[in-house]
Amino acid sequence: MHFVVCLKQVPDTSEVRIDPITNTLMREGVPSIINPYDAHGLEEAIRLKEKVGGKVTIVSMGPPQAKEALKKAMTFGADRAILLSDRAFGGSDSLATAYILSSAIQKIQETDPIDLVFAGKEAIDGDTAQTGPGIAQRLDFPQLTYAIKIQELTETTVTVERKTESGRQIVQAQLPALITVEKELNDLRYASLPNMMKAAAYEPEVWDVKSLSFDTKKMGLKGSPTSVSRIFAPPGRSGGEIMDGTKDPAATVATVVQKLFQQNIIMVNPLAKGGKS
Residues 150 and 247 in one domain: no
Indicate the pTM of the whole model.
Answer: 0.78
| pLDDT(52) > 60 | yes
- pLDDT band at 49; cut points 50, 70, 90: very high
Q: Give me the pLDDT at residue 140, please.
A: 95
Residues 277 and 212 in one domain: no
Residues 256 and 121 in one domain: no
Tens of pLDDT, residue by residue over 176-224, are 999 999 999 999 999 999 999 999 999 999 999 888 877 888 888 888 8
Summarize the confidence of residues 43-54 as an average pLDDT. 96
Q: Give me the pLDDT at residue 29, please.
A: 62
- Does the bond joining 225 to the residue before it have cis omega, within 30 degrees of 0? no
Does residue 228 fall inside a structural domain?
Answer: no
Does residue 41 fall inside a structural domain?
Answer: yes
| pLDDT(257) > 70 | yes
Residues 152 and 181 in one domain: yes
Q: What is the CATH number of the domain that holds 129?
A: 3.40.50.620
Contact 43, 50 (CB under 8 A): no
Top-confidence residue, 263 or 59: 59
DSSP string, 5-53: EE--EEE-GGG-EE-TTT-SEE-TTPPEEE-HHHHHHHHHHHHHHHHH-
- pLDDT band at 174; cut points 50, 70, 90: very high
Number of domains in the chain: 2
Does residue 225 fall inside a structural domain?
Answer: no
Q: Give me the pLDDT at residue 231, please.
A: 67
Residues 254 and 120 in one domain: no
Residues 256 and 132 in one domain: no
Helix (H) or strand (E) segment spanning residue 96: helix 94-111
Residues 61 and 177 in one domain: yes
Q: Give me the pLDDT at residue 105, please.
A: 96
Does residue 226 fall inside a structural domain?
Answer: no
Helix (H) or strand (E) segment spanning residue 118: strand 116-120
Task: Tell me the pLDDT of the chain averaged across its residues.
Answer: 87
Does residue 223 fall inside a structural domain?
Answer: no
Residues 51 and 159 in one domain: yes
| Direct distance between the N- and C-terminal alpha carbons of the chain, in angstroms, rounded to an integer | 62
How many helices (H) and strands (E) in the chain?
A: 6, 13
| pLDDT(170) > 90 | yes
| pLDDT(14) > 70 | no
Q: Give me the pLDDT at residue 218, please.
A: 87
Tens of pLDDT, residue by residue over 98-141, are 999 999 999 999 999 999 999 999 988 777 888 999 999 999 99
Does residue 147 fall inside a structural domain?
Answer: yes
Does residue 233 fall inside a structural domain?
Answer: no
| pLDDT(265) > 60 | yes
Summarize the confidence of residues 143-159 as an average pLDDT. 96
Residues 95 and 156 in one domain: yes
Segments forming the whole domain that contains residue 150 = 2-218
| pLDDT(271) > 60 | no
Backbone φ and ψ for 101, nearest 5 degrees, come out as -65, -40
- pLDDT band at 248; cut points 50, 70, 90: confident
Residues 209 and 257 in one domain: no
Does residue 203 fall inside a structural domain?
Answer: yes
Residues 56 and 182 in one domain: yes
Residues 260 and 132 in one domain: no
